[in-house]
Chain A
Amino acid sequence: MKGIGLSIIFLTAAALCAAQDTEAATKSKIIALEQLWNQAYKAGDTKALDSILDNAIVLVNDDGSVQNKTEFLASVKSSGMQPASQEQQVTPESLTVHLFGTAAIATGVMRVKGVEGGKPYTRRERFVDTWVNKGGSWVCVGTDATPVLH
């Protein structure tokens, strides 16, 4: 009986370790996707953006305006990397991922530098991105950015 008890403990511990490894790997994957998003946005790489954004994604911008995927990709394409684009530089300051089975939320702060109405600005924004696993691939289904006022 003691042997069976020990086996159960070992198996449970092994299963827990495996689950933790999987969770850590998934969180790393989401962080990598967030980095890919930033790089693709900076580079105006709409193909890469297309691959990580769900077709039904809803994007809420820092001024409360809303875009769907087509509108967002079109805005990236049209702004290109021109200095006249509204947001020129996005630098992530922090990022935390919470995992809920086939869903994950990534939350953090980013620093945005740009030019608006001919005047340069720098502001910090807090964001939440929601990711879901669809057929083995993680895609972003929702993103919201809010300026940090204090």
Chain B
Amino acid sequence: MPVFFSLLLLLWLDPMLPAQEAGPADAAQTKILALENAWNLAEEHKDVSALDSLLDPTLVYIDYDGSIMDKAQFIASIKAPALHPEQIVNESMTAHVYGDSAVVTGVYREKGERSGKPYLRRGRFTDTWVFVRGTWVCVASQSTLIAK
């Protein structure tokens, strides 16, 4: 199945997954971790439409170099023709759910090419999600490089 359609399917199914079956917190955890993986795929494939549905309009994004972006700036940075992310994977992830909000922390590894130069980064991330209008959206995301 093309990646674009699998992302769409994942995002479409997300709010429909019954929260009652495994307990609301467990179900929310599963959903949010799936959304984290969908985010990585969306970035890899520059799928702006999928990213748009994952991110709240008020998103605060702190990049690994300490720069800050809003949602429009972040999506524009992903769309940049000079950026070619090859692989973004989460080595580990933990979600803590607090009712209508959740915090995910983990370690990611990203490799790709920017302006013809290869890059490889490994960092820790913290994402804050909130449940609004019947779906989970990310309101804050931050990454910090792991010192060697």
CB neighbours (8 Å) of A125 from chain B are: 66
Provided the pairs A130-B103, A144-B126 are in contact, do residues A150 and B146 lie with their beta carbons within 8 angstroms? no
Say which residue of B68, B96, B145 sits within 8 Å of A64 (CB atoms): B145
Determine whether the beta carbon of B126 is less than 8 Å from that of A132: no
Q: Which residue of A lies closest to B123 (CB)?
A: A64
Determine whether the beta carbon of A132 is less than 8 Å from that of B144: no
Tell me how many residues of A have a C-beta within 8 Å of chain B: 34
Q: How far is the CB of B103 from chain A (nearest CB, A)?
A: 4
Determine whether the beta carbon of A144 is less than 8 Å from that of B101: no
Say which residue of B60, B65, B101, B105 sits within 8 Å of A102 (CB atoms): B101
Determine whether the beta carbon of A58 is less than 8 Å from that of B94: yes
Q: How far is the CB of A53 from chain B (nearest CB, A)?
A: 13
Q: Which residue of B lies closest to A104 (CB)?
A: B101
Say which residue of A60, A105, A124, A134 sits within 8 Å of B144 (CB atoms): A60
CB neighbours (8 Å) of B67 from chain A are: 148, 150
CB neighbours (8 Å) of B130 from chain A are: 100-101, 103
Which segment of B13-21, B79-87, B109-117, B135-143 sits at the interface? B135-143
Most B CB contacts (10 A, CB to CB) among A141, A142, A147 go to A142
Query: B74 within 8 Å of A by Cβ?
Result: no
Determine whether the beta carbon of A58 is less than 8 Å from that of B103: yes
Tell me how many residues of B have a C-beta within 8 Å of chain A: 32
In angstroms, Cα B123 to Cα A63, docked, is: 9
Determine whether the beta carbon of B60 is less than 8 Å from that of A105: yes
CB neighbours (8 Å) of B140 from chain A are: 98, 105, 107, 128, 130
Say which residue of B65, B103, B147 sits within 8 Å of A141 (CB atoms): B103
Query: A21 within 8 Å of B by Cβ?
Result: no
In angstroms, Cα B66 to Cα A124, docked, is: 9
CB neighbours (8 Å) of A128 from chain B are: 60, 62, 126, 128, 140, 142
In angstroms, Cα B60 to Cα A107, docked, is: 8
Closest CB pairs A-B (n = 4):
A64-B146, A148-B66, A103-B101, A142-B103
Binding site for B on A (CB under 8 A): 56, 58, 60-66, 98, 100-103, 105, 107, 124-128, 130, 132, 134, 141-150
A-B contacts, 16 of them at CB < 8 A, read: A58-B96, A65-B146, A98-B60, A100-B132, A101-B101, A103-B100, A103-B101, A103-B139, A105-B60, A126-B62, A130-B101, A130-B128, A132-B101, A145-B144, A146-B144, A150-B67
